Amino acid sequence: MQRHKALTHGLLAGLAVLNLSVANIAHAGPNTVTRGPHGAAYIQTMDVSFPKMAAKYGMSVTPFNLVFLAFQGFFASEGIPSAQALMNAYQSGKVTPEALIKAAIAMHRLPAETLQDKEYLANVRSQLETLNNSN
């Protein structure tokens, strides 16, 4: 029960941060809107200024946000599967924290130097593990 409360609290806190980030997404200048694998709208690519704009507005993509976006299918255009397929790909080693970060970099959601941030990588791995263990 305690673990369930902790996961719920973490999920709700992360969703609140994600909601704040999405509210300012119009400032970033998306250039393509499309539909994900489950019909949900997502922004396929952002213009190259997004990482700097995100920093300016305090809209960083946290490791939780990155994994949540991947789970929701945001990185489908970069070959990252969503939902249970993401978990299966992670378990088999086909999707790694590095792959998620590279997908976010390719879509201009993270700056390239994020790939060298060992703490960020470890936190993405931790978020994937937490999601994987909750299924």
pLDDT tens digits, one per residue of 80-131: 999 999 999 999 999 999 999 999 999 989 999 999 999 999 999 999 999 9
**Which tens digit of pLDDT belongs to each residue from 38-85?**
555 544 455 666 667 666 666 789 999 999 999 999 999 999 999 999
CA dihedral 80, 82, 83, 88 (to 10 degrees): -30
Whether the full predicted model's pTM is greater than 0.85, yes or no, is no
Cβ neighbours of 49 (radius 10 Å):
13
User: Residue 14 to residues 20, 35, 36, 51: CA-CA distances in angstroms?
Assistant: 10, 23, 21, 19
Cβ neighbours of 13 (radius 10 Å):
12
**End-to-end C-alpha distance for the chain, whole angstroms:** 15
